[in-house]
């Protein structure tokens, strides 16, 4: 059966999921990669959009809205006596050569901060920092930093592509672990249902049992809707689908004495 037909049938048919236990492991692994790729479409689009917006915002702010500055000897230096905050759509740029603003003061996501001793970026609830001292003896100014952003802009699709591949690999690894755990749960489920299945068959069935929750959460991510207790819901639905698929397998005939 075509892998995309399998995708469609796995959404609603535990009976077909039960049949897929006989297929080759290679096709099942390919299916896991396909399912992972589908689940990554909304976040990859979001990342791509945010990178493009951040590049354009950063360039505009540096060239037009920040005072002249240099980064030298591990410090940001300018004539400004007070911190400057510039808001551009969903992005915020903080410029502070006075040392007034601290990392704890950065509360919002999508915030870029040029602080006295370090550069900081806040996104996804986390703050990444880079000390200017890492530049060693290199000296940076507005013009040079804008030129650096230009070079990033010209290669942004390469950067996005590399990021997408890395995210796919890491997320696929997580998916394989999740499926392996689900298959272990399947060993208990098949005993409860009185079916004869080995771990390899359960692993294949577990991979296809992940389809319904994966498609659901992908749609929710696409429409930017947060689902409470998503972790528990994901596991609950996957376990139920796997159990229904196990029940579709005929019970072994009792031995005649």
Round to whole Å and give the CA distance between 106 and 129. Answer: 12
Round to whole Å and give the CA distance between 121 and 61. Answer: 15
Strand pairing category for 140-141 and 69-72: antiparallel
**Residue whose C-alpha is closest to residue 122's, from 137, 107, 111, 138:** 111
Tens-binned pLDDT, residue by residue, of the chain (257 aa)? 799 999 999 999 999 999 999 999 999 999 999 999 999 999 888 888 877 777 777 778 887 888 888 888 888 888 888 888 888 777 788 888 888 888 888 877 778 888 888 888 776 567 778 888 877 666 777 777 777 777 777 777 887 888 888 889 999 999 999 999 999 999 999 999 999 999 999 999 999 999 999 999 999 999 989 899 999 999 999 999 999 999 999 888 776 65
Round to whole Å and give the CA distance between 250 and 3. Answer: 25
CA angle 71, 76, 78 (to 5 degrees): 100
């Amino acid at each position: 059966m075509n892998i995309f037909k399998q995708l469609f049938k796995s959404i609603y048919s535990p009976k077909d999921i039960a049949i897929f236990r006989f297929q080759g492991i290679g096709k099942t692994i390919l299916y896991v990669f396909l399912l992972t790729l589908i689940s990554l479409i909304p976040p990859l689009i979001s990342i791509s959009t945010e990178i493009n917006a951040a590049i354009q915002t950063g360039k505009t702010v540096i060239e037009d809205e920040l005072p002249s500055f240099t980064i030298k000897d591990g410090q940001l230096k300018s004539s400004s006596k007070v911190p400057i905050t510039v808001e551009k759509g969903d992005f915020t740029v903080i410029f502070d050569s006075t040392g007034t603003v601290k990392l704890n003061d950065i509360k919002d996501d999508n915030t870029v901060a040029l602080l006295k001793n370090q550069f900081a970026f806040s996104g996804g609830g986390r703050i990444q920092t880079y000390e200017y001292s890492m530049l060693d003896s290199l000296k940076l100014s507005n013009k040079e930093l804008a030129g650096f952003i230009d070079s990033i802009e010209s290669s942004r699709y390469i950067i996005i592509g590399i990021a997408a591949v890395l995210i796919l690999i890491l997320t696929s690894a997580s998916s394989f672990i999740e499926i392996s755990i689900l298959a272990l749960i399947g060993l208990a489920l098949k005993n409860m249902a009185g079916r004869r299945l080995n771990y390899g068959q359960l692993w294949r069935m577990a991979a296809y049992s992940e389809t319904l929750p994966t498609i659901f959460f992908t749609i929710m991510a696409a429409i930017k809707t947060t689902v409470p207790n998503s972790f528990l819901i994901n596991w609950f639905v996957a376990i139920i689908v796997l159990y229904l698929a196990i029940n579709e397998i005929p019970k072994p005939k009792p031995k005649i004495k």
